[in-house]
Amino acid sequence: MNFRIFNAAGILKFREYLARLRTNSTLTPPVGLLADDELIREGIPVSFPDPVNTFSNRMEFAHWLYDLFSQAGIEIPRSEEGFWAWLSLALFDQVAPPDSGGNRKPGADARHIPELTNWRRRYRHLLANPVDVFLLHRDDPSRAAVVLLNPLNKPGELTEQFTARFELVSCPGTMALATRLYIDSRTGARRLGASGNSARRLGKLMNQYTRTWDLPEINPQTFAQILPKEFDRFK
């Protein structure tokens, strides 16, 4: 099977399943929709692996998708709502995994069917967002590790604080600093307290610093030194 793009009817069928799943959490994903030609607007000449990888985090998924399309010489159809909806259903066991009792919690539709024209809503999509971030920092994705190391189905509050604001997530200096502050370089894990007030406070400071510093180019070590004492525990 190749990657595909749902048409409007396919997106609607998927949306209807999500609605039913919220009242019956054990409903099996309707994977038959993935190959139903009546629900497909377009096929993509890139093979969808079988079996598909199990991704340990958002970075691994984004790298996987980028590599598949790059090797085929084809751009990822990032602006296609039907592509991301199709892929969300194809990877539903990873974006809405069942618990030990077979129950799934899909969350809001925006986690599976993106709102591509609004960045403040687009970031909520569990698959489009890590790919967007990865491509923004494709020259060095590791600097965006702070928003790419969580599981696909649990992006977390810290990720949402940064990815909801394009001016922050697109800035190399800001992402390198946030990764330096909030990711333990020895373990690759997030530091305790690396969310909530700290992340919100850092975002506000970035808005102030843009007036006096060249944030895209600043060295993260230098950047860290100008932060207030409240960030000392993360340095």
Q: What is the DSSP string of the chain?
A: -EEEEE-HHHHHHHHHHHHHHTTSTTPPP-GGGGG-GGGEEEEEEEEPPSSPPPPSSHHHHHHHHHHHHHHHT----TT-HHHHHHHHHHTHHHHS---TTS------GGGTS--TT-HHHHTT-TTHHHHHHHHHTTT-GGGGGGGTSS-TT--HHHHHHHHT-HHHHT-HHHHHHHHHHHB-TTT-PBPTT-STHHHHHHHHHHHHHTTTS-TTTS-HHHHHHTS-GGGGGG-
- pLDDT tens-place string over residues 177-211: 888 888 877 777 777 666 667 667 776 676 666 66
Mean pLDDT for the stretch of residues 49-68? 95
pLDDT of 211 reads 60
Position 43 confidence tier, pLDDT thresholds 50, 70, 90: very high
Tell me what the pLDDT averaged over the chain comes to.
88
Mean pLDDT for the stretch of residues 78-85? 97
pLDDT of 161 reads 80
Mean pLDDT for the stretch of residues 5-9? 98
Mean pLDDT for the stretch of residues 42-68? 95
pLDDT of 4 reads 98
pLDDT of 97 reads 97
